[in-house]
Structure 1
Amino acid sequence: MVSALDIRADLLINRLKDTLKTIESIKPPEWALFSKTGSGRERPPEQEDWWYIRAASILRTLYIEGPLGTERLRAKYGNRKSRGVSPSRSVKGSGHVIRKILQQLEEAGLVEKDGRKGRKVSAKGRSLLDKIASEIAREMKIEVGKVKVP
């Protein structure tokens, strides 16, 4: 059986993004058009559907790396901040964006809290990711661990 670990991240995230757009509880807030995704960024994202891309990426990360909290996700989605003449430094991503996405994914039933460890993918979320992964594998004719060339 093919899982989300066997599929390339870009293919899985793009397909998952389209699926998340159909879920009613996952939608960008009004302020998302104007906000940056971290203090190291100079401008807001240019893609119109960046909220769904980030939500899909967070869901995939939770699937792979297990229960994670907001701080670990902030570190993952951080970047290097340009400080002019001084050397660049690493900064964390926006906690507000990550927290809102986690709350929306939890409301949709795709993510659940795991005590004090953070959040993890629920059974519904795991089955959604595996279903999308198997669809992509079928289209690309991928077997588990192997790539078939047509």
Structure 2
Amino acid sequence: MAKAYDVPADILIAKLAEILKGENIGKPEWANFVKTGSHAQRPPHEKDWWYTRCASVLRKIYLHGPVGINDLRAEYGGSKAVGYAFSHHRDAGGAIIRNAIHELEKLGYVEKVAGKGRVISHQGMKKLDRLASEILDELAVQNPLLKIYS
């Protein structure tokens, strides 16, 4: 059985976003109008960026858990130009990550550990591992050398 770090992240996140959209994960009303952080100049162009961000947060918690919201803010942040000086790092918006984590907790994919942050639950780990196995099987059809990993 494949794990989430055995398959390419972009493929895993895209398929997981489609699954989360089908499970009716809650999307805030303000999600269409907000920037992802002070480093961003505009809101995301993609219409369903919320589901992609939720999938990405779930994958990051799987790989690096336990993690807190501030850790994820720093991870999703970026650089912002400051006049003629060098660029400085700005953290991402906390409300986006916080709401994504709350929605994932409602679905039972993430659990809170007192004083340490969030970790992935057994149900969330099972969902990601099964999805990773499906992706690896699809990739093995395209490249037969990958069959040894599935």
TM-score (norm 1): 0.92
Q: Which residue of 1 aligns with 2:35?
A: 36
Q: Count how many residue pairs are aligned between Structure 1 and Structure 2.
A: 145
Per-residue CA distance 1:3-26 (angstroms, 9 max, x = gap): 1110010010011000000112x1
Q: Distance in 2 between matches of 1:16 and 1:140?
A: 16
Q: Distance in 1 between matches of 2:45 and 2:120?
A: 28
1:67 touches 1:118 (CA, 8 Å); kept in 2? yes
Q: Report deviation, 1:82.
A: 1.6
Q: Report deviation, 1:33.
A: 0.6
Q: Which residue of 2 aligns with 1:62?
A: 61
Gaps of 5+ in 1: none
Per-residue CA distance 1:65-116 (angstroms, 9 max, x = gap): 1110000000000000122322210010010100000000001111010111
1:110 touches 1:125 (CA, 8 Å); kept in 2? yes
Q: Which residue of 2 aligns with 1:17?
A: 17
Instruction: Map residues 111-122 of structure 1 onto 2, 5 A cutoff.
Output: 111-122=110-121
Percent of aligned pairs with the same residue?
46
TM-score (norm 2): 0.92
Instruction: Map residues 1-150 of structure 1 onto 2, 5 A cutoff.
Output: 1-24=1-24, 26-141=25-140, 147-148=146-147
Q: Which runs of 4+ in 1 moved over 2 A?
A: 146-149
Amino acid at match of 1:100: N
1:27 touches 1:51 (CA, 8 Å); kept in 2? no
2:5 touches 2:63 (CA, 8 Å); kept in 1? yes
More strand by percentage:
1
Q: Report deviation, 1:141.
A: 1.3
Q: Distance in 2 between matches of 1:100 and 1:110?
A: 14
Q: Report deviation, 1:148.
A: 4.7
More helix by percentage:
2
2:137 touches 2:147 (CA, 8 Å); kept in 1? no
Q: Calculate the aligned-residue CA RMSD, in Å.
A: 1.5
